[in-house]
Structure 1
Amino acid sequence: MNSGSPELAVVVIVHGRHEHLRRCLSSLADQVLPATRVVVVAMADDRAGALAEPTGAELGLPITLVAMDADPSRLPLARARNLGVAAADSANLVLLDVDCLADPFLLQRYADAMSSPRPPGLGSGPVVWCGPVTYLGPNARVDLPGSDPASTPRIDWQMVRSHRAPHTARPDPAAGALVPGTDLRLFWSLSYAITAADHAAAGGFDEAYEGYGGEDTDFARRLGTAGGGICWVGGADAYHQHHPVSRPPVEHVEDIVRNAALFRARWGSDCMTGWLEEFEGLGLVRRTGDGWQTVQGAR
């Protein structure tokens, strides 16, 4: 452990997934390096806000709640992250998806990475520090045996770690290793660390993106434009709790078409092309010159 590790605040944005939120907070209570503050941004979700503060009190977590008005049908994820960063009022930040369980060493690994000399090749621009993410299956048990269902779940880390299988699309360095990346397109906001100064240098998340898709890829472009980079942090593991998904995410087709058009207008290139082509095959969208539009009456 690095005795000079910086203090870290954690930002979690949420709408629904209330049991996932309780387990996410439980994982943060198990950290080797405690968070100085845990900001929960509840997007159009009074119940999440009502859960966060008593759960934090039960776990001994310093919770700051940000209640955010929003249209539940088109959640402003980018704006929520920016609000969370501002409310954290911290020089060093970890942003964690509500679906993620933070391994007990996650904050320590991120703090050590941020306080270490920069690895050669990372440059001097803003940096996102990213750890491995394992997607847990629907039958993965995460609670300690005998947990009281009326209380906040406590995590069975031996069991959770037995499922470790980081997503193969991204690097998985040895614990404690720092590996500069070359492809900013691999940035996901599921789990990453950044300084408040670097968040500002990249311009934050573009709040024009609303609903599902595009804001992470746009943030990576903003980071690259600012001369920034990505560094993979070995051992900063997060475990994504299972929830049902559509493949492709047909319930988000309107958001994806809108946000893809915004991305092309911003950057002159495409994003989310794989999903759009799958939607096209299902008759949900059609190409219009360089862009896409939804097919009326297709759903």
Structure 2
Amino acid sequence: MTKQELIKRKKSASPSILMFSCITLSIIMLIMGKELESAIIKGMSLAGLRIIPTVFPFMVLSDFWLSSLEIKEESAVAKAFERVFKINAAALIPFLSGALCGFPLGVKSAVGLYEHGAITKDELSRLSPVVNLPSPAFVISGVGAGLLGSAVMGVFLYFSVLLSSVIVGVFFSRNKSKSKNNAFITRQNFDLIASIRNAGLSSLIIASYIVFFSGVLGLVSAIFKNDAFSTILSTLFEVGNATSMIVKSGAFPHVYLLPLLAFSLGFSGMSVHMQAFSFLPKEISKRRYLLTKLLIGLLSAAITFPLSLLA
């Protein structure tokens, strides 16, 4: 059979496979309607009560930062940032947005710089996964104090993820040179109405991904009924549910809790990545982004493992 015949056969089989998958999924959703409903309600609660109230105001603030902050290329901070990351000093804004306000604000700010011509395609590709970070409020208060009962542990988790992002960002910046683009140093007119509208639409997109992946995770958990498997899978899907399941499931020895939490926070889950993809231009490699986030997650777990042996 020739290569062309194989390709033709695959194309002809694709609609049948898709139809079978849709029918199978519909049957599963009907059989497990209560489990799916419960998971979706949980996702809506997570999005409405914990995520959007935190993300929405900072999205408006992020637009304000982009329009009002000035980055002076001659400043010591800007020069150090450029030297370490081999990237335009303007990228300091999305880095601070991601580090202080959490995902997806770092990516949103980075895309804003790219659209204004302040950073190049390669710089955005390197920058976007590094600045898509969990907020200190979520990690320290929600995970540390809330789930682990220790804000100190939350601080350690947060800085392990932040350090891992910096290390991976520097690693992928080796043999690179800063672009010739002018830094994003001129103030722009701040449009409050447009910022609120954009923040509202972005918040709805974020909530939609959280609800979707919460539903998927709920179905998987109901089908397999294996706490360890469901918890591991949750780290790949949705970070809010994952952190809760890691601590509350009791499926893993205590020594693995911190590394698993660190990996979940560092990788951040497909829900967060889909949010980032909704902002990123099509020309940015999603495969490279995911590989970078996976490395950040693994490095975060490695950094926290020694402490978990002492805890």
Which structure has more helix as a fraction of its residues?
Answer: 2
Report the TM range for the smaller structure's normalisation. Answer: under 0.3
| TM norm structure 2 | 0.23
Q: Please state which structure has a larger fraction of its residues in strand.
A: 1
